[in-house]
Homo-oligomer: A and B are copies of this chain.
Amino acid sequence: MSKPVLFAIYAPIVGDTTSPAFGQADAAEPFVNVMDLSVTRGDGIFETASVVDGHIQALEQHLARFVRSAALLDLPTPDAAVWAEAIRAAVAAHEPAHERFVKFIMTRGIEGTGIPTAWAYVDDAEDFTEERTAGIAVVTLSRGYRHDIAATSPWLLQGAKTLSYAVHKSVLREANRRGAQDVILTATDGYVLEGPTSSVVLRIGDRILTPSTDQGILAGTTQASVFEFFESEGLVAEYGLVTVEQLAQADAVWLVSSVRQAAPVNAIDGVALPVDFELTNRLNTALLARTE
């Protein structure tokens, strides 16, 4: 394993002229103050992009979502150009590998200061071969909200990629207790939403379907690439409301995300689902071939 690389971002927001704008720090050393609001309140935003053969995949889309998350949390606007430059420098400073990831974070800063804390972190990716080929068993778990929660209660921050992700880890532990590896979250009124760290993509005949992002879920950067792949295969790809019944009757289901890419679902709530290995393999080959 190569050493993780940490870059501090000193000028993370629009209008900040701190120079230099970023610089390398020691990833093995403590970096965050105990009164930083990321630690005390999970109050900040993040993105994780995959880095394949040196290409930072969908960086522009990740940065665009990062800026949207900042707005949803009333954080200052990240300076996308500074972030892009810092992220490229961090990746360049890390020992090359086939698959790596870069996680970048901006917090609300140390309480009372109003100055965000910001960094980018690069490390080798886990080996997801097994998940991409044999697939994963998932369970459905209620997220506790109606599907229209983002419109009715925007203060609940659904649709923002925040650091308050304890529930995302908790649902995975619940999945493990039920003998599964991942989760599809559902709304209380019967709609399919997303995985804790992935988008849900269904194939129903010649149609590809994913839940629309007006349901307080994240606009998946990988899901967008998955749509491009299926459209190039001659399938129709659509956003919409997806019911739990449709999920149960789908011909195929994938959880797609940045670093794991497309993981075919081989069982839902204990009911086996066929995996199209050949199609999934071509999908993952296409996803891994993405450049920026």
Chain A interface residues (CB < 8 Å from chain B):
4, 6, 27-44, 46, 73-74, 103, 105, 107-108, 119, 121, 141-146, 149, 152-157, 162-171, 173-174, 188
Between-chain CB contacts (< 8 Å), 12 pairs: A4-B35, A6-B34, A29-B33, A32-B32, A32-B39, A38-B39, A39-B107, A41-B165, A41-B168, A144-B145, A144-B152, A156-B170
Q: Is there an interface contact between A42 and B145, defined as CB atoms closer than 8 Å?
A: no
Q: Is there an interface contact between B32 and A73, defined as CB atoms closer than 8 Å?
A: no
What separation, in Å, do the CA atoms of A230 and B275 have in the docked complex?
63
Q: A34-B121, A42-B41 are in contact. Are A156 and B144 (CB under 8 A)?
A: yes
Chain B residue with the shortest CB-CB distance to A156 = B144
| A193 vs chain B, min Cβ distance (A) | 13
Residues of B with C-beta under 8 A to A173: 74, 155
Among A31, A42, A107, which residue has the most Cβ atoms of chain B within 10 A? Answer: A42
Which of B35, B36, B41, B119 interacts with A169 by CB under 8 Å? B41
Q: Is there an interface contact between A32 and B33, defined as CB atoms closer than 8 Å?
A: yes
What separation, in Å, do the CA atoms of A227 and B85 have in the docked complex?
57
| A28 vs chain B, min Cβ distance (A) | 8
